[in-house]
Amino acid sequence: MRCRDSYLGVYNGGAAPARVWLFRMRHGGVERTELVNGLMLSDPTQIAFDGKRLLIVSDSGWERIGKGETTRRIGAKILAIPLGKDCKPR
């Protein structure tokens, strides 16, 4: 997902905790940093940027699709992280 001159992405390689990374293109390569050090996320699957905040949908239930459990008993968690003009948390 794009945030001004940066990109934000979720790394959810199947191992907890998942991470949100901030990427920037630099001369000679790509700079990558963890958006929030130590942020613990449970199965983040979607992210969006509304111009002021990074919105992260976590524990949406994707892992249960096609496995017999079709009724969801609780809603997905949405985390909002306010971002500054540099796309880093405020």
Domain count, the chain: 1
Per the structure, the complete domain to which residue 30 belongs is given by: 2-82
Determine contact, residues 89/82, Cβ cutoff 8 Å: yes
Does residue 51 fall inside a structural domain? yes
**pTM summary value:** 0.74
Does residue 88 fall inside a structural domain? no
| pLDDT for 83 | 92
In the predicted model, residues of the chain with pLDDT beneath 50 are none
**Residues 3-15: pLDDT tens digits?**
888 899 888 766 5
